[in-house]
A = this chain, B = another copy of it.
Amino acid sequence: MICFEDIVIGECMTSSAIVVDRDELVDFAERWDPLPIHVNGEVAASRGGPTAPGVFILALKQRLIHELPEHAVIASFGYDEVRFHHPLRPGDEVRLRFEYVDTRRSSSKPDRGIVTVRLSLVRNEDEVVMSHLDTILVRRRFPLG
């Protein structure tokens, strides 16, 4: 379990790769975001096949988080700067990159700290498909006295 003291700004972890499954993408889109560009049909076919809804891309990212070492998270503040840089399509291979960008002590509670991470879904070797910042509250192993 990764605690606040273990975190070093600039350090980075990467998940293994997964391939975007066409049926899973289209089933998800039909249920949650049935725009013609996301589901089977003429519109998607004329544009090289369906593209993933943004929320499907966020769900893939969430699945990949479970591959990385666990943090002693108390709470999450939310996401900032969520950006969809490129369309994602069935057959694409993606990894999750997890980078620590900031840490600070809680001003009121000695048992925790605030950590900002950048999560990036990366296609092939280096193309960022989606990125966002995530700010989490992480427990200290040794509370400040």
Q: Which residues of A does B touch, CB under 8 Å?
A: 31-34, 53-55, 58-59, 62-63, 65-66, 76-84, 132
Could you tell me the distance in whole angstroms from the C-beta of A62 to the nearest C-beta in chain B?
5
- A62 and B83 CA atoms in complex are apart in Å by 16
Within the complex, which residue of B32, B66, B77, B82 is in contact with A79, where a contact is CB–CB below 8 Å?
B82
A–B Cβ pairs within 8 angstroms, 23 of them: A31-B63, A32-B62, A32-B63, A33-B59, A33-B63, A33-B65, A53-B62, A54-B62, A54-B76, A54-B79, A55-B58, A55-B59, A55-B62, A59-B59, A77-B83, A78-B83, A78-B84, A79-B79, A79-B82, A80-B80, A80-B81, A82-B82, A82-B132
How many copies of this chain are found per oligomer? 2
- A34 and B80 CA atoms in complex are apart in Å by 23
